[in-house]
Structure 1
Amino acid sequence: MSRVTILVYKGFQVLDATGPAAAFEIAGHFGAPYSIRLASLEGGRVASSSGIAVETVPLAEALQCELLLIPGADNPLRAARQKELLTAIADAARSGRRVASVCSGAFILAAAGLLEGRRAATHWAAVEALKRLHPRTVVDAESIFVEDRGVWTSAGVVAGIDLALALIGRDHGDELARKVAQKMVVYHRRPGTQPQHSALLDMVTPDNRFAPLLAWARARLSEPLSVERLAKEAALSVRQFTRAFTQATGVAPAKAIERLRVEAARAAIEAGADSLEEVARRTGFGNGDRMRRAFVRITGQPPLVARTGARREPGMRG
């Protein structure tokens, strides 16, 4: 029985705590039981940011665990000022327990001194603040989760489930983590190195006139997506479309489609797709050589690096 203590505090984000808890609970259904306890500094009812309150045991009663997990909050700095809380977290790490955070929970781990000199992830919107407040932390602005010498950190909300799946995979193997992901109806094998941002989100803001067009294109990457076809879908002449699109997104239409194809191909490769040629066909590259050249242009690395990186992720065996 692996014991997991989720340490909550006033104003914590519910899904940061309950998402990983559900993953560990479901692992038990497949023969890998985890004992899950919600704890707070003093115990009792603790209200989340949504107003939903949970019952907790005092932290002193729950420190005998294999994993101590800290959820995030809209304002984690309040909790990060509680010296007793920080001391307990630091002591847990020193005693060899794994310590993890979801989203802005990284600020609490940093305040406890656990991220000094370590690589860490947090929500993309909190990256600059974490760098500013804790300059000795190596903040990874891209990855959805990171493990550095027994301390695990993850990006926003749902990335906490990815982190939990990686921990389950580390403890009990990738096949069990896959079953848990299937039961939860979530994406399996989303590697920690997968970027928090998509090319689509980076290129346009939600109110950009071409956001619907790019969403339309992303759903049709296996089809020919010439500038002429894109212009027709946008109800503009090719010349008008090319000029307006480039001005709005900062990239030419063909380059935008190439970025979307690389993003889709990378996700498929990291998810364990068997054949690079098949990935190339499904994402519109036509063949593996064309896909390789696009990967090198966009990412600076060939597709095989994405596959190798996914296989080396903590808990991701294969």
Structure 2
Amino acid sequence: MSVIFECEYNGRRYAGLGVPVPGERHTLYEVAEGRLREAVIAGGGPAAVAAAVTEGAGTVSVTLGDPGLRFLPPLLPTGSNNALVNGFMGTHRSKFDRAPEPDEEFTPPNYYLKGFGSWLRMPGEPLVTPADPVWLLEEPEIGLVYVNDEDGTPHYAGYTFGNDLNDIGLHLKNKWAWTPYAKLCETSVTPWLFLEEPPQTVTGRMTIEREGATAWGGDFSCGLDSLYHRVEDMTQYLFSYPLLRRPGLVNYLLLGADKASYHDGFRIEDGDRLVIDVTSHGVELANVVQYGQAVAARS
């Protein structure tokens, strides 16, 4: 698997190839803001993107845990915040009572806009929720990353993995009106961008830890073989909307999740640690849930 990532190290922007191994040193390549996005738009595949990172770049060697190292969401425009986090709901086969027919007309699944790309959290960072959520739900998902060129044409860059934490209890109280409020919890993604087509099979294990012990656990799948809808249909329909084709925009598109802890009757609490072990791809995403505070606006 071809993997690339971006980070900041001691205040400077770098990129790396592959997933760093804990305890081992990893080479970082100094890279200008937007260089990887330009390489994706230019085409040439994973080799061309890797060459854009490594050719003529200054390097440093670091290990995970270095206090000067901070990972970034894949291809995030940190200067302009020209990025959106959005996604689909009800996409998995487990949520339908039948399989799709081969010639079935496409009906778009429900869609939501989560927020700006700068709202994404990295592994190890807390996920802040509303002050008093009804019933939280973790959602291990594939996140597709698209970069629009100067003409507004979306270019697929690759995929990552995310946790679309949300308040399913609030959503179920009023599915047609309160879902946007239910989605106002922070979302985390891994910094690793897999420079390949969306994966057919993704399997892993979700664990919720409370006070250092496992409080709940369950397996998950979120590959294309778990979806009811075809990704090509979903993305083609979504990018028919001009506002999502603004020049330079980066779109993080979450493909939805299967059933999880809520469907087992488990309630996530403040301080719980959510661990997504994507075993099929050898990566992990862990974050602690942090209830926010209710603050009234000042007049």
The TM-score bracket by the shorter chain reads under 0.3
Q: TM-score, normalised by structure 1?
A: 0.27
Structure with larger Rg: 1
Structure with higher helix content = 1
**TM-score, length-normalised on structure 2?**
0.28
